[in-house]
A = this chain, B = another copy of it.
Amino acid sequence: MLNQSQAPVERMFQALGDPTRRALYERLSRGPASVSELADPLPMSLPAVFQHLQILEASGLIRSEKRGRVRTCRVEAGGLREMEKWIAGRRAMWERALDRLGEYLAAQDDAQPPRRRG
């Protein structure tokens, strides 16, 4: 798997690549919830949901806190920001690449005299 350094944003992408975890995250973006509240509508066992929550939390997308015997989960704002930053970075590189292509083509035009008007 070429396990090189596992950047946090990568664990976020991986976390959201699973439909269950995406559903959990969408639910939590509507407001905090306990583990069993989250598990209730899902067609799987509570330990399974708990494992998914652990993965989401390890990725930095959510955060949770235990009071008494109930653990309340909520979205971690920083997570979204990390992903947005990564995407913005790729977009910037890609747009710069397009610019370079434009400059290159312009330079080609300068070097070779235009056919129509020559």
Contacts and interface: CB of A to CB of B under 8 A. Distances in A.
A75 interface: yes
B13 A22 contact: yes
Given A13-B13, A77-B94, A19 B31 contact: no
Interface in A9-44: 10-11, 13-20, 22-23, 25-26, 29-31, 42-44
Contacts of A87: 80, 83-84, 87
Interface residues of A, number: 39
B30 A10 contact: no
Contacts of A77: 94
Nearest to A6: B19
Given A2-B19, A26-B93, 5 more contacts: A13-B22, A15-B17, A26-B90, A29-B93, A84-B84
